[in-house]
Amino acid sequence: MGEARRQSRREATSNIQGASSLTKRSQLLKAGAEKMRAESEGIARYVDAVVVNCGRRKSLTHSDYATPVSIPFGTQLGVQSEWLRRLQTLETRTAANAFYTGRGFGMAVRAAAATKAPLYIASAGLGLVSGDTQIPAYGLTVAGEHPEAVATRVCGPFDPASWFESMMGGPYSRRWLDVVGNGEGSILIGLTQPYARMLGPGLGVLRPQQQARLRLFGLSLAGALPKILHPAVAPYDERLNAILPGTRSDFANRALLHFAQTVLGQRATSDRVEEFEAVNAALDVVKTLRPPCRPRRSDPEITALIHKRLSLHHAKGQILRALRDEEGVACEQARFARLYRAARQNGAVS
């Protein structure tokens, strides 16, 4: 009988200890979840918006009417007025964050998700567009050599900053004050140099308190931005390629994503100097990668290599990659595209 009582007591004690262990484990898990949620909410409170410029890759096709190609030549004011008129007549087809595609834009989406901040797209054709805004399919760029470049329709000088300011008065755009508002959180903006020239003047006239909240990301932006914005440029350089590889065209979004996930993920503060010191610390641990040295070839030589590859690769990108990686040939994308089209037109492919 005594032994039975002792066994019963041991079992009761074991049950109590087990319950206590489960309780402690549950408490630890709960505390960990609360810490993660608090850190996430801290970043969310710290970032008010993520802004990136649009890219050329889009999910929908568009008619010539939705491009500058069919706009009559005229002054910039006249071309602006005609484009804004057309925007009023185009049918909306999808949300902005589903219209723009590509690896670089995907990084911007990930950065917005990491910071739980709304995503905005700076578009030469639509202005400053919220990611969830329904927009039409269109094609317009400020790049001078592109077929859909609006500057080619303008007689006389073209002012990209003035153009973008007019687009912000269009039917799909927000204003900078809508994005920046009166909050205290940072505004993360990824820009290529052409977009920095186009958006810089508008950002440069924001109030000092608003400019202090800006964090600008891009490659060699100083020459494309007003001097007053230079302190807002994050100190990313080519060393980023060793941390987050990519192309020059997606550099700004790679830097923005690294900042959102790594710098803010480890320490969400409101001190821009401390944040940029953390960026420098991350870059200092890597060495600048030197691009591979590839010999240049003449157009006929590259065309001959394309002919050889056409029977093996049907995708243009695969052939370019093969030329670079397997043949060791230096060839810019624009040049390759021209030679590739010529090779196909000359009957290289049945």
At residue 314, the 3 state secondary structure works out as coil
3-state secondary structure of 323: helix
For residue 3, pLDDT beyond 70: no
Does one domain contain both 94 and 206?
Answer: yes
Whole-number pLDDT of residue 294? 63
pLDDT higher than threshold 70 for residue 11: no
Sign of the CA dihedral 90, 93, 95, 97?
negative
How does pLDDT run across 162-208, given as a tens digit for each residue?
Answer: 999 999 999 999 999 999 988 889 999 999 999 999 999 999 999 99
> Which domain range does residue 90 map to?
43-284
Domain count, the chain: 2
Q: Looking at the structure, do residues 276 and 337 belong to the same domain, yes or no?
A: no
Would you list the DSSP string of 197-224? HHHHHHHHTS-HHHHTTEEEE-SS-GGG
User: Per residue, what are the HEC states of 96-162?
Assistant: HHHHECCHHHHHHHHHHHHHCCCEEEEECCCEEEECCCEECCCCCECCCCCCCEHHHHECCCCCHHH
144 φ/ψ sector (left φ>0, alpha ψ -120 to 50, else beta): alpha
> Where among 235, 253, 284 does a domain terminate?
284
Q: Confirm whether 54 is domain-assigned.
A: yes
Write out the two tokens for 263. 């710098």
Domain assignment of residue 293, yes or no? no
Q: Is the pLDDT of residue 115 over 60?
A: yes
Residue 266 shares a structural domain with residue 317: no
Mean pLDDT value of segment 6-10: 59
Q: pLDDT tens-digit profile of 311-333? A: 665 577 778 777 776 677 777 77
Tokens of 130: 């919220």
Helix (H, G, I), strand (E, B) or coil at 174: strand
